[in-house]
A = this chain, B = another copy of it.
């Protein structure tokens, strides 16, 4: 392995703020060529339906099918994938699904109403989405955990139908992905991918039903297509590279911390792994662990590039400052690798998920802790939340005025409407005022 250096920062340096800003800077590339290709695919699928989807699939996934019916998997295929799984994998998948379901049950919102003294009722009705599309990447990056994390909250919300799409380049199918779909209760699976799959879900075709929202990760073509169809359907967030911030008091085993940093760095050369600690010796220890362990890692090339370009070991004056810098970073994953993480929790304002205590490896959360692994990246934890049941439910306001209530409040509405020059509004309210 080549020698490489990992950025070190110290909060007392004069230009620390600028250095931190530069470290965090990330802009996803918006490529005019990709946009054009995606626009063409979207408009073809919108106009030609199944025929366009079949044609793009043959072209991009190197298949040779002649109709959409060959691109749908039967429910038996999913069940078979689950039942033929090695027992250890099946048990692990079932355990994960059970814990994810149990956690997400706590996120369900209910409708509510209240009645005022004059009989006027106000409230909010909570309704699940009718139909959701789930994009699952194929090939190398086929993640069964992602199927569970996206499909289970939708099912818990009460979504009637989940349509999954997963490309099968050269016909390759991942049995774990199909098994996860069976476990999560996915309703239909089409073996299509790319912008053509997003278009089919957004607009509907003769065979593929139009959905209300599309969720799930994908490559730049999928992300660009999701952005483009937003409005016609809902979408989840567009994820940036993975991030982990470990805040440590210096008393966790440095090998553990190094491996936790690796666990995000191995995702992607653009992934970002940061350690913040008030203990300068601990920075040396973790760096030594990194150099010791890196050569033993299967994905060492990816990890090395990620660490070289985007990682940092940050020295701070105390834990309060560590937490405050953590808030400025607003990381996707925050590990509080300390003795008493509950004591630090009130100060944490911005993070996708908070992993508390030395035993809570971020990797546990990726698979089976229960909470979702689809989390806000690139500082968007400042204003957004983990994927959850709430993303598959929506609300309608309820307003039912009694005759007295309408008469009373009609006068208020009339004054305000006339103040805005909207006299049809005013007169509509005035009709309900008792003479």
Residues on A facing B (Cβ under 8 Å): 28, 88-89, 92-93, 95-96, 99, 103, 106-107, 112, 114, 121-122, 124-125, 127, 129-130, 142-145, 176, 212-213, 231, 233-234, 238, 253, 255-256, 259-260, 262-263, 265-267, 297-299, 303, 334, 341-342, 345, 348-357, 359-372, 375-376, 378, 380-386, 388, 390, 394-403, 405-407, 409-413, 415-417, 419-429, 431-432
CB distance from A304 to the nearest CB of B (A): 12
- Chain B residues in 8 Å Cβ range of A28: 231
CB distance from A337 to the nearest CB of B (A): 12
- In contact, A359 and B406 (Cβ under 8 angstroms): yes
- Chain multiplicity (copies): 2
Other-chain residue from B95, B114, B176, B371 in contact with A419 (beta carbon distance below 8 A) = B176
Alpha-carbon separation in the docked complex, A267 to B416 (Å): 15
Other-chain residue from B103, B266, B415 in contact with A88 (beta carbon distance below 8 A) = B415
- In contact, B367 and A260 (Cβ under 8 angstroms): no
Interface of chain A: mostly helix, strand, loop or mixed: mixed
Q: Which residue of B lies closest to A141 (CB)?
A: B420
- In contact, B401 and A369 (Cβ under 8 angstroms): yes
- In contact, B390 and A397 (Cβ under 8 angstroms): no
- In contact, B380 and A416 (Cβ under 8 angstroms): no
- In contact, A420 and B144 (Cβ under 8 angstroms): yes
- Chain B residues in 8 Å Cβ range of A412: 92, 95-96, 367-368
Alpha-carbon separation in the docked complex, A88 to B411 (Å): 10
Other-chain residue from B334, B415, B429 in contact with A89 (beta carbon distance below 8 A) = B415
- In contact, A417 and B367 (Cβ under 8 angstroms): yes
12 contacts between A and B (CB under 8 A): A95-B409, A96-B416, A106-B114, A125-B354, A144-B416, A212-B383, A263-B422, A263-B424, A363-B413, A365-B397, A368-B413, A368-B416
Q: In the complex, given contacts A356-B399, A366-B417, A372-B397, what are 11 additional A-B residue pairs having Cβ atoms less than 8 angstroms apart?
A: A125-B354, A144-B416, A298-B424, A350-B396, A355-B399, A357-B401, A362-B428, A363-B413, A363-B424, A363-B429, A382-B394
- Chain B residues in 8 Å Cβ range of A416: 89, 92-93, 96, 144-145, 367-368
- In contact, A382 and B130 (Cβ under 8 angstroms): yes
List the 10 closest pairs (A to B, CB-CB), nearest first.
A234-B383, A356-B400, A371-B397, A359-B406, A353-B397, A262-B424, A363-B425, A92-B415, A385-B395, A266-B424
CB distance from A371 to the nearest CB of B (A): 4
Alpha-carbon separation in the docked complex, A352 to B398 (Å): 9
Other-chain residue from B122, B265, B360, B431 in contact with A103 (beta carbon distance below 8 A) = B122
Alpha-carbon separation in the docked complex, A362 to B432 (Å): 11
Alpha-carbon separation in the docked complex, A375 to B125 (Å): 14
- In contact, A432 and B361 (Cβ under 8 angstroms): yes
Known: A212-B383, A298-B423, A397-B365. A349 touches B130 (CB 8 A): yes
- In contact, B255 and A431 (Cβ under 8 angstroms): yes
CB distance from A158 to the nearest CB of B (A): 11
Alpha-carbon separation in the docked complex, A189 to B137 (Å): 46
CB distance from A256 to the nearest CB of B (A): 5
- In contact, B256 and A431 (Cβ under 8 angstroms): yes
- In contact, A361 and B92 (Cβ under 8 angstroms): no
- Chain B residues in 8 Å Cβ range of A394: 376, 381-385
- Chain B residues in 8 Å Cβ range of A403: 359
- Chain B residues in 8 Å Cβ range of A380: 231, 234
Other-chain residue from B345, B349, B431 in contact with A253 (beta carbon distance below 8 A) = B431
CB distance from A89 to the nearest CB of B (A): 6
- In contact, B359 and A398 (Cβ under 8 angstroms): no
CB distance from A24 to the nearest CB of B (A): 12
Alpha-carbon separation in the docked complex, A366 to B415 (Å): 12
Q: Which residue of B lies closest to A425 (CB)?
A: B363
Alpha-carbon separation in the docked complex, A403 to B356 (Å): 12
- Chain B residues in 8 Å Cβ range of A127: 349-350
Known: A122-B369, A127-B350, A429-B363. A233 touches B420 (CB 8 A): no
- Chain B residues in 8 Å Cβ range of A88: 415
- Chain B residues in 8 Å Cβ range of A427: 259, 262
Q: Which residue of B lies closest to A375 (CB)?
A: B397
- In contact, A260 and B356 (Cβ under 8 angstroms): no
